[in-house]
Structures are given as structure tokens and as C-alpha cells.
Amino acid sequence: MTAADNSKGAGQDDDLPDVIEIVRAMGLDAMGEDTEPPSPALPAAAPHADHGPRLPAHLEKLADRARDYVEAASSANTRRAYAADWKHFCAWARRQGVDAFSPDPRVVGLYITACASGSVSGDKQPNSVSTIERRLSSLSWSFTQRGQPLDRKDRHIVTVMAGIRNTHAAPPRQKEAILPENLIAMLETLDRGTLRGLRDRAMLLLGFAGGLRRSEIVG
């Protein structure tokens, strides 16, 4: 290969976008304000000069399609809930003087403790266990989109969450059992002269005799 060929090849390489710079741009775009929905950002068709080189023209439509797929990855209601939970966490972190953008399990453990105790907001109303679990999922998703995954298996989170469940979770509601007279009353409403009536009669009798759940009867 001649020196001219080497020079030509080097010039072609210079025209290609730096993959590292593009990835860095994706991370910078994802770091938005806490009021923005926590959706992953892709490099824009014409990014700011500080964010590195723009994508080649033939990849712009592909980037737009990728953004559409990002939007389709979750429902609008889910994205709104994640955005609200992220804003809730950031507001609490600012009041406590801690960094909201660093996925510190100790800080997250304190946050879910505050949610359970009702000390996050001014109304002093503790969040339910299901709400706290949703907030924790929202934080995990948001940190991941910002390139800093949260370790939900860390003891500062797992142990605190287990204690919250044991302390505040409502006990499961016991369903009332069907008595023989209830079963007889239901059987009397079925038409024994039709296949459908015979089928329903058999299902009720088998379910009662075996103490089966509805899901176990219908498969």
C-alpha cells in the first residue's frame, strides 16, 4: 500500500463519527432536569457542538425510529408515574442536602424509610407498601436510563424494604368458604338438559370436592 493510499484511508476514517463521543452524547442528553420524564435520550440529528459530532445523515432516520421504539417500550401512564416518582425523590433529596443523581443505596434506603414513615411530604401521610415498591422501581429505571444502575439487591435497600413489608403490609384477606347449602343453591340454577349446564355442574362439584382454586379449575 502506498503512502497516498494510507493518507486516503486516514481521511476516510476521520469522516466517521467517533463512537465513544456518540455514546458520551447519549449519556449527556439523558441527564435532564428532575422535572423531565425519565426517558432515555438518543443523540439528536443536529446535536450541540459540546455533545460531539453529529450523526451521519443516513443514520438520522434510524435514530428517529429508535426514539419511537423507546416511547413504545412503556405506556404513557407508566412514563408519567416514573416521572412523578423521580421528581418526588429529587425534591426529597434537595431538602435533605444529598445528591439525587448518584445511585447510593444508603440514600435510597433512607428515602423509602421516609416514604413509609410519612416524613417525605408535609401531610405526614405514609405511603402504602405498593406505592413504595413502585417508587423504588421508578428510581431503578430512572438511574439505569442515566447510565448509573441502582443495585436494588444492596442490603441497605433489601433489608429496609423487607422491614417495611413486615410492618406496614396489610394481611391477606381470607375469602369465605362456600358451604354445602351454597353449592346446592348454585347447582339448582343450572340446566341439566344442556351440555353447558352439565359442564358447569361438573366444574362446581369437582372444585368443591377438591377445594380447588378458580385458576386450577379452568386451567
Encode pLDDT of 8-34 as tens digits: 444 444 444 454 454 455 454 444 444
Task: Write out the DSSP string of 169-189.
Answer: PPPPPPPPPPPHHHHHHHHHT
Q: Is the predicted pLDDT of residue 130 greater than 60, yes or no?
A: yes
Q: What is the tens place of the pLDDT at every residue in 143-192?
A: 998 899 999 999 999 999 999 999 987 776 777 788 899 999 999 999 98
> pLDDT class for 54, splitting at 50, 70, 90?
confident
What pLDDT band is residue 64 in, cutting at 50, 70 and 90?
confident
**Joined grid coordinates for residue 132:** 413504595
Domain limits, the chain = 17-72, 76-168, 180-218
d(CA 150, CA 136): 10
For 98, the grid coordinates are 444529598
Cell numbers 347447582: residue: 187
DSSP state of 40: P
CA 116: distance to chain centroid?
Answer: 20
On the question of pLDDT at 92 being above 70, the answer is: yes
Tell me which H or E stretch contains 166.
Answer: helix 155-168
CA atoms of 219 and 214, how far apart (whole Å) = 8
Higher pLDDT, 143 or 72: 143
How high is the pLDDT of residue 7? 47
Q: Which CATH superfamily is domain 76-168 in?
A: Tyrosine recombinase, N-terminal domain (1.10.150.130)
> Which residues are CB-contacts of 143 (< 8 A; sequence separation ≥ 6)?
103, 149, 150
Which of the four pLDDT bands, split at 50, 70 and 90, describes residue 219?
A: low
Confidence of residue 123 (pLDDT cuts 50, 70, 90): low
Helix 129-145, helix 76-96: angle, nearest 10: 90
Contact in structure between 76 and 83 (CB atoms under 8 Å): no
Instruction: Check residue 25 and give its pLDDT.
Output: 52
Task: Give the CA distances from residue 78 to residues 143, 146, 210, in Å, rounded to whole numbers and listed in that order.
Answer: 16, 17, 40
Does 52 have pLDDT greater than 70?
no
Residue 112: alpha-carbon gap to chain centroid: 16
151-160 burial, b at 16+ Cβ within 10 Å, e below that, comes to ebebebbeeb
